[in-house]
Amino acid sequence: MVQIPNQQPAKRSVPTSADVARLAGVSRATVSYVLNNAGTVRISEPTRRRVHEAARELGYVPHAAARSLRAGHSRMVLMPTSEIPMGPLFSRFFNELQWALSRLDYTVVQYASLGMTGEDAARAWAELRPVAVLAPDTSALGPHGVTVLKRSGAKAVFTLGPQRVEGAHALLMDGRRVGEAAARHLLARGRRRIGAVVPEEPGLDLFSRPRVEGLRAAVADAHIAGASVTELPLAYEEGSAAGLAARWRSLGLEGVFAYNDEYAMLLMRALQDEGIAVPEEAAVIGSDDLMLGRLLRPRLSTVRIELPSGRGLAELVDRVVRDPGAEPEVHDMLGAAVVHRESS
């Protein structure tokens, strides 16, 4: 045996597949076939059992990264997350998606983008060599980012947001639908001068902007004389809402779409405390259909957002991974339906 000078003896505290092979009395290839469930190779049941027992005894688990290095691809679906907490609707949707992807043998990994955007974000994600990426709009991925990901081996790049990005499949989340639905409802209830609550909190602009755009577009399209939209900045705190409520009568508005149910509840309470009758003097509608909106008096009207099934999206991801050369597809993800209660 030749000693290599100036080299530390390898630490063997972490068991390897070679250790398993030795203990089970089989080849490393056999260990790999058994533990990676390679269906193509036939291994007898007793051998299979021996390998599993040896792995358990040594505490060996396969290395996902090593396996994907050998195979030249991974089964990792990367879902970058933004810092904005998800509501119950999106939480449920992403849970369903993760379950469905795991049943198709993908490993779903969420990755905090931490303020990285564009190509920087794409490079950070690419280091993990995902086979598919579902990038939220907050990442501002851009066409160059898509290229970076594809060059690193990603077979499917999806963007989730209001706009298409060149080269990527688009899962369109068009927030304008929400504002459009609210506008049509308020107009139908006879309101002409409509307010649009715009959250002052940083980061929410990305979500509130399309909703207000949709509201404006639907009001314009209705061609109703005297109809208008006024933006109302509001911070998510009682003082801000009290200030807006105090100015309400001077604004001359008849109805308000309040971004979401939480802002709607905040504003409605402030209006009531100011002695402004809801819905008579101010029709209020939120969005998201939170259960808590039903507990208020009057009960809060809302725009319910509808998402497709996570299972369908998982199947789409899998189809694109298998056919990475296909033309980018566009899928409409977001539906919006008014739930009319008592506040409007």
| Least Cβ distance, residue 324 to its own copies (angstroms) | 10
Under a CB-based contact definition with an 8 Å cutoff, are residues 162 and 173 in contact? yes
Among 22, 294, 311, 341, binds its own copies (CB under 8 A): 294
Residues 6+ apart with CB under 8 A from 108: 76, 77, 79, 97, 98, 101, 102
* CA–CA distances in Å: residue 27 to residues 20, 43, 50, 65, 165: 9, 12, 12, 21, 48
* Segment interacting with its own copies, rule: CB under 8 A, options 223-231, 263-271, 309-317, 331-339: 263-271
β-strand pairing of 330-332 with 169-172: parallel
Per CB under 8 A, does 218 bind its own copies? no
Position 171, amino acid: L
| Least Cβ distance, residue 26 to its own copies (angstroms) | 20
Query: Of 213 and 318, which CB lies nearer to its own copies in the complex structure?
Result: 318
Report the site for its own copies in 31-60 (rule: CB under 8 A).
Answer: 58-60
Per CB under 8 A, does 91 bind its own copies? yes
Degrees to nearest 5, angle at CA 187 with 183 and 188: 115
Looking at the DSSP bridge assignments, the partners of residue 257 are 196, 285
Q: Look at residue 235 and give its three-state secondary structure.
A: coil
Report the site for its own copies in 129-148 (rule: CB under 8 A).
Answer: 129, 147-148
Query: Of 150 and 211, which CB lies nearer to its own copies in the complex structure?
Result: 150
Report the site for its own copies in 236-255 (rule: CB under 8 A).
Answer: 236-238
Per CB under 8 A, does 298 bind its own copies? no
Report the site for its own copies in 156-215 (rule: CB under 8 A).
Answer: none
| Least Cβ distance, residue 226 to its own copies (angstroms) | 32
Per CB under 8 A, does 27 bind its own copies? no
* Segment interacting with its own copies, rule: CB under 8 A, options 24-32, 99-107, 178-186, 202-210: 99-107
Whole-angstrom Cα distance, residue 307 to residue 208? 18
CA 38, 156, 120, 79 torsion-angle sign: negative
Under a CB-based contact definition with an 8 Å cutoff, are residues 310 and 291 in contact? no
Whole-angstrom Cα distance, residue 185 to residue 120? 42
Per CB under 8 A, does 277 bind its own copies? no
| Least Cβ distance, residue 224 to its own copies (angstroms) | 33
Per CB under 8 A, does 63 bind its own copies? yes
Residues 6+ apart with CB under 8 A from 46: none
* Segment interacting with its own copies, rule: CB under 8 A, options 37-45, 89-97, 159-167, 179-187: 89-97
Alpha-helical segments (H) within 59-189: 64-71, 88-103, 118-126, 142-151, 176-188
Torsion from C-alpha of 258, 261, 263, 269, nearest 10 degrees: 100
The size of the interface with its own copies (CB under 8 A), counted in residues, is: 57
Query: What is the radius of gyration, based on Cα positions, of the chain?
Result: 27
Among 18, 29, 69, 220, binds its own copies (CB under 8 A): 69
| Least Cβ distance, residue 49 to its own copies (angstroms) | 17
Q: Which residues bind its own copies (CB under 8 A)?
A: 11, 13-15, 58-66, 68-69, 72, 81, 83, 85-88, 91-92, 95, 98-99, 102, 107-112, 114, 123-124, 126-129, 147-148, 151-153, 236-238, 262, 265-266, 269, 291-292, 294-295
